[in-house]
């Protein structure tokens, strides 16, 4: 894996030495932005001209439109592994730094394919797209950029229970290069920027039942402990912080754990999990340029805009969770679902379904589907618990089989999956998923 990354580093170095123009193409989520940021920061340091494009999905029309671009090197990050065949036909050099599933297409001599799956490393757990990209920058001696790989990993939920595999190697790089500090602490968000009750209510992961997404619940919890809910966590006395820590750990022990910080960063971005959340909020609001600007070091105004976006996004989720709590989910025999035509709710339905389940706002004894209508289609995000998976539920398979029946498409993991189906098929689709999940539970051996 590291040898392959070194091949990519050498290809990149060759183009740097030639003073070539380089084209970066990356994905729009927190991992994709971090992946672009690793290489863009590296190219900035080398004073090389480059152009970055962030896209929601790599499709053939995107690839075809790049064919006429005169750049001498294309680098696809956090995507591209599914398009080796098409990219083989490029006249320029191509680097792919991805961590999604691979097929067995062999790369031509103009292409270097960096992907953990090619080396038996599980890219869903052990290395992010930003991680694959970092390994290329690493070959250029840029270990100080390693923390972007960790931001990407947090964006893909790879670090929340500790880093493993290749990610662990990156943590070591970050420590050795002096950019990263690690300490155990409370993993609540916006400790130094939001009033305490909001810090608690906005902490979606790890979930805090009756507090997560619940501003009133968070306030009552703090009042019961005689802590003033309006001040910031960082303004609490040491003793009060300890008291809060113990009370929160009684609700969910995961709330106390390893924090990864970059001390030289501005306070808002110092904690890498929070850095990933900010990039995610920009991405969800389609402000890709803003996210990339932050990762390239733009501050002040730009950062304020991002924080406002994040606040709005968090408030949408809180509103959605309040709605889910009040209305409850629609119940079928073996599954439940959330559906609304409300514009704000629609935009965060998948997130509400997922946090609603983990924070126990919704009954977690049945898998949940969050449905949002997009014109003539319905987008579905499904989520269940580890416990239900052990009882036989495989949501990825259920959503794949059911959506295929209605000219849609779907799939994913056993515990979390998604699908897209025509709007008219909604009710029939739900009943089919219900039957499939019922069958999975009955036939679990």
List Cβ neighbours of 56 (8 Å cut-off, separation of 6 or more): 27, 28
Q: Which is nearer to Mn ion, 12 or 153 (CB)?
A: 153
How far is Cα 434 from Cα 269, in angstroms, rounded to an integer? 43
Within 13 A of 3's CA, how many CA atoms are on the CB side?
2
- Give the count of residues interacting with Mn ion (CB under 5 A): 3
- CB of 123: closest distance to Mn ion in angstroms? 8
Q: Which residues pair with 338 in a beta bridge?
A: 370
Instruction: Let me know how long the chain is.
Output: 445
Q: Near Mn ion by CB under 5 A, which window of 105-113, 122-130, 158-166, 354-362?
A: 122-130
- CB of 366: closest distance to Mn ion in angstroms? 29
Residue with the CB atom nearest Mn ion in the bound state: 31
Closest C-alpha to 318, from 215, 205, 218: 215
Closest C-alpha to 434, from 389, 387, 368, 385: 368
Q: Which is nearer to Mn ion, 199 or 381 (CB)?
A: 381
**Is residue 80 close enough to count as binding Mn ion by CB under 5 A?**
no
Closest C-alpha to 224, from 204, 244, 238, 209: 244
Q: Residue from 15, 23, 30, 31 that binds Mn ion (CB under 5 A)?
A: 31
- CB of 385: closest distance to Mn ion in angstroms? 23
Residue 307 burial by Cβ neighbours in a 10 Å radius (0-12, 13-18, 19+): middle
The DSSP 8-state label assigned to residue 352 in this structure reads H
- CB of 34: closest distance to Mn ion in angstroms? 9
Q: Which is nearer to Mn ion, 156 or 173 (CB)?
A: 156
- CB of 239: closest distance to Mn ion in angstroms? 41
Q: Which is nearer to Mn ion, 157 or 389 (CB)?
A: 157
Q: Which two tokens stand for residue 92?
A: 């320029």
Q: Which is nearer to Mn ion, 116 or 139 (CB)?
A: 116
Q: Near Mn ion by CB under 5 A, which window of 18-26, 123-131, 285-293, 390-398?
A: 123-131
Q: Which of residues 134-153 bind Mn ion (CB under 5 A)?
A: none
Q: Which of residues 360-379 bind Mn ion (CB under 5 A)?
A: none
> Are 87 and 76 spatial neighbours (Cβ–Cβ below 8 Å)?
yes
**Is residue 156 close enough to count as binding Mn ion by CB under 5 A?**
yes
**Is residue 280 close enough to count as binding Mn ion by CB under 5 A?**
no
Q: In the structure, how many helices (H) and strands (E) does the chain have?
A: 18, 13
How far is Cα 49 from Cα 61, in angstroms, rounded to an integer? 25
- CB of 31: closest distance to Mn ion in angstroms? 3
Q: Which of residues 247-276 bind Mn ion (CB under 5 A)?
A: none
Q: Which is nearer to Mn ion, 213 or 283 (CB)?
A: 283
Q: Near Mn ion by CB under 5 A, which window of 28-36, 283-291, 318-326, 381-389?
A: 28-36
> Are 135 and 142 spatial neighbours (Cβ–Cβ below 8 Å)?
no
Q: Near Mn ion by CB under 5 A, which window of 124-132, 213-221, 304-312, 316-324?
A: 124-132
Closest C-alpha to 385, from 344, 433, 437: 437
- CB of 99: closest distance to Mn ion in angstroms? 6
- CB of 35: closest distance to Mn ion in angstroms? 8
> Are 334 and 366 spatial neighbours (Cβ–Cβ below 8 Å)?
yes
Q: Near Mn ion by CB under 5 A, which window of 27-35, 260-268, 425-433, 437-445?
A: 27-35
Q: Near Mn ion by CB under 5 A, which window of 31-39, 258-266, 323-331, 407-415?
A: 31-39
Q: Residue from 80, 116, 123, 129 that binds Mn ion (CB under 5 A)?
A: 129
| Beta strands 377-383 and 368-374, pairing class | antiparallel
- CB of 83: closest distance to Mn ion in angstroms? 16
Look at phi and psi of residue 12 and say left if phi exceeds 0, alpha if psi is from -120 to 50, else beta.
Answer: alpha
Q: Which is nearer to Mn ion, 116 or 207 (CB)?
A: 116
| Beta strands 336-339 and 368-374, pairing class | parallel
Q: Which residues pair with 380 in a beta bridge?
A: 371, 419
Q: Which two tokens stand for residue 38?
A: 């690793």
Q: Which is nearer to Mn ion, 129 or 412 (CB)?
A: 129
- CB of 67: closest distance to Mn ion in angstroms? 25
Residues contributing to the site for Mn ion (CB under 5 A): 31, 129, 156
């Amino acid at each position: 894996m590291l040898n392959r990354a070194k091949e990519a580093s050498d290809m990149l170095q060759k183009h740097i030495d030639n003073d070539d123009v380089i084209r970066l193409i990356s994905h729009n989520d927190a991992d994709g932005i971090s992946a672009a940021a690793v290489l863009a920061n590296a190219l900035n340091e080398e004073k090389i001209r480059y152009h970055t494009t962030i896209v929601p999905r790599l499709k053939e029309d995107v690839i075809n439109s790049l064919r006429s671009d005169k750049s001498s090197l294309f680098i696809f990050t956090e995507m591209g592994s599914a398009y080796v065949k098409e990219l083989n036909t490029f006249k320029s050099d191509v680097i792919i730094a991805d961590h999604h599933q691979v097929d067995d297409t062999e790369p031509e001599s103009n292409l270097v394919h960096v992907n953990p799956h090619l080396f038996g490393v599980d890219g869903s757990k052990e290395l992010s797209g930003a991680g694959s990209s970092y390994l290329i920058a690493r070959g250029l001696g840029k270990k100080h950029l390693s923390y972007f790989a960790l931001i990407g990993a947090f964006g893909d939920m790879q670090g929340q229970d500790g880093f493993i595999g290749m990610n662990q190697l990156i943590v070591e790089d970050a420590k050795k290069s002096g950019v990263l500090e690690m300490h155990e602490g409370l993993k609540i968000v916006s400790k130094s920027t939001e009033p305490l009750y909001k810090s608690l209510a906005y902490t979606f992961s790890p979930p805090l039942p009756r507090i997560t997404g619940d501003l009133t619940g968070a306030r009552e919890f703090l009042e019961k402990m005689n802590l003033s809910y309006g001040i910031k966590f960082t303004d609490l006395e040491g003793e009060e912080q300890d008291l809060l820590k113990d009370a929160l750990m009684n609700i969910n022990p995961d709330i106390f754990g390893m924090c990864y910080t970059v001390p030289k960063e501005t306070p808002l971005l110092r904690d890498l999990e929070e850095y990933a959340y900010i990039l995610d909020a920009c991405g969800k609001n389609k402000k890709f340029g803003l996210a990339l600007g932050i990762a390239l070091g733009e501050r002040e105004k730009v950062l304020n805009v991002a924080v406002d976006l994040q606040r709005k996004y968090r408030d949408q989720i809180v509103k959605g969770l309040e709605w889910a709590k009040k209305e409850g989910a629609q119940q079928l025999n073996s599954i439940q679902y959330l559906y609304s035509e409300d514009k704000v709710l629609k935009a965060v339905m998948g997130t509400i379904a997922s946090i609603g389940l983990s924070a126990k706002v919704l009954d977690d004894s049945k898998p949940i589907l969050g449905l949002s209508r997009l014109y003539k289609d319905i987008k579905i995000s499904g989520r269940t618990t580890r416990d239900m998976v052990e009882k036989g539920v495989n949501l990825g398979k259920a959503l794949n089989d059911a959506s295929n029946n209605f000219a849609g498409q779907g799939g994913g993991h056993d515990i979390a999956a998604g699908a897209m189906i025509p709007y008219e098929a909604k009710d029939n689709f739900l009943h089919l998923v219900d039957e499939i999940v019922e069958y999975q539970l009955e036939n679990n051996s």
